Amino acid sequence: MSCPAVLSPHATGDVSIRARDWQTQLKCAVTDVDELCRLVGLTRDELPLRHTSLIKFKFKVTHSFIARMRQGQRQDPLLLQVLPDDQELDQAVGFSADPLGERAVNPVSGLLHKYHGRVLLIVTGACSIHCRYCFRREFPYEQNNPGTLGWQQAIDYIRCDPSIEEVIFSGGDPLLANDERLASLTYAIADIPHVQRLRVHTRLPITLPARITSPLLQWLTGTRLRAIVVVHCNHAQEINQEVVDALSLLRARGVTLLNQSVLLRGINDNADTLIDLSKALFSSGVLPYYCHRLDRVTGSHHFHVDEAKISDIMRAVHTALPGYLVPAFVCEESGALAKAPLHQSWSTSA
């Protein structure tokens, strides 16, 4: 299969690629920074890319996502989420490869059991785009790839623990697995009487909306399990008509839609941006769920927002929006029983 060259110098993301099925779009994802530069009208010299060949976590982004970036904007909030940066090579104090201690809550291959009542399955390590701040960028996916047959161990684990009411498909991006695999996993889970809910943590409705197909809706909504899809969107500019259409397909089948975002310096670290995001999400049928403080994973220190600023942002968002449009601001602490709420000062004179 070939990925056609861009036809127009003004095209942001290739329209002919975006019109194709999701697997083809995925194969045509841009993995060459020079190609991205060409598509968004920037030159490599303007960007902090001198040493990025040393970075293990490779560059990757879909044409669909590129199409929502603005031309010639070095500070575009979508561009900044995927563009490698020399600062990723810095060794910052307090940052590590496994900041959440996840390797300690990994009882069987592919399964994380950290919180009461729910388990997380690492369905695949692959992603449609590589977010530079990703907390799983250092996760040992090779050791957590049970393969098609290996899921039996995870299923048995869930079956043997009646406290587990919810199974979360995570990754990487679980929706990059094919529908046959996802369907057989879902049917096996639906067969366990104490499981009530199936949750999918995915960025694909945002980064590759063509992934929302009828075979997907079939397994997702075709069992007795209540389906929840938690998307990951950090900025209102990520939501275009293509995204709205994909989300509508899910909504029409009764899927509960939630969003998690990450507070990122230079991308969404101000109240107006987060307020616009909540409104744009609600207009697309999605409620804000979590807004995460960034985990301290190696290579992400340049995205960190300081505590005082986070507190100001939280206060401004709380006072500007109805409660149901305010995400829970949380962080993850190694060993904690749930995601921890971030505290803010409510002093009105501040």
Ligand X SMILES: *Cc1c(COP(=O)(O)O)cnc(C)c1O
Interaction of residue 227 with ligand X, rule CB under 6 A: no
Cα-based distances in Å from 269 to 59, 77, 82, 140, 311: 23, 11, 17, 30, 11
Interaction of residue 168 with ligand X, rule CB under 6 A: yes
Interaction of residue 195 with ligand X, rule CB under 6 A: no
User: For residues 280 and 237, what is the distance between their CA atoms, to the nearest angstrom?
Assistant: 9
Interaction of residue 28 with ligand SF4, rule CB under 6 A: no
Q: Cβ–Cβ contacts within 10 Å for residue 165, how many?
A: 13
Interaction of residue 232 with ligand X, rule CB under 6 A: no
The interface region with ligand SF4, picked from 65-73, 130-138, 218-226, 268-276 by CB under 6 A, is: 130-138
Nearest-5° angle of CA 167, CA 169, CA 170?
130
Interaction of residue 232 with ligand SF4, rule CB under 6 A: yes
Query: Toward ligand X, which CB reaches closer, 74 or 103?
Result: 103
The interface region with ligand SF4, picked from 127-135, 253-261, 291-299, 333-341 by CB under 6 A, is: 127-135
User: For residues 176 and 186, what is the distance between their CA atoms, to the nearest angstrom?
Assistant: 15
Compute the least distance from the CB of residue 132 to ligand SF4, in Å.
Answer: 8
Q: Which of 203, 292, 301, 302 binds ligand SF4 (CB under 6 A)?
A: 203
Is the sign of the CA dihedral 122, 170, 137, 96 positive or negative? negative
User: For residues 52 and 311, what is the distance between their CA atoms, to the nearest angstrom?
Assistant: 33
Q: Give the per-residue contact string, 116-155, with ligand X (x = CB under 6 A; - = no).
A: --x-x-----------------------------------
Interaction of residue 123 with ligand SF4, rule CB under 6 A: no
Among positions 288-307, residues that touch ligand SF4 (CB under 6 A) are none
* Secondary structure (DSSP) of 11-71: -SS-HHHHTS-HHHHHHT-B--HHHHHHHHT--GGGSS-SSGGG-SS---B-HHHHTTSPT
User: For residues 250 and 257, what is the distance between their CA atoms, to the nearest angstrom?
Assistant: 8
Interaction of residue 174 with ligand SF4, rule CB under 6 A: no
Q: Which of 63, 68, 114, 132 binds ligand X (CB under 6 A)?
A: 114
Interaction of residue 264 with ligand SF4, rule CB under 6 A: no
Interaction of residue 228 with ligand X, rule CB under 6 A: no
> Minimal CA–CA distance to 200: which of 172, 164, 226, 229?
229
Looking at residue 307, its amino acid is E
Query: Toward ligand SF4, which CB reaches closer, 119 or 134?
Result: 134
> Minimal CA–CA distance to 186: which of 141, 123, 254?
123
Among positions 238-297, residues that touch ligand X (CB under 6 A) are none
Compute the least distance from the CB of residue 267 to ligand SF4, in Å.
Answer: 13
The enclosing H or E element of 331 equals strand 328-331
Q: Which of 18, 113, 114, 130 binds ligand SF4 (CB under 6 A)?
A: 130
Binding site for ligand X (CB under 6 A): 112, 114-115, 118, 120, 168, 338-339
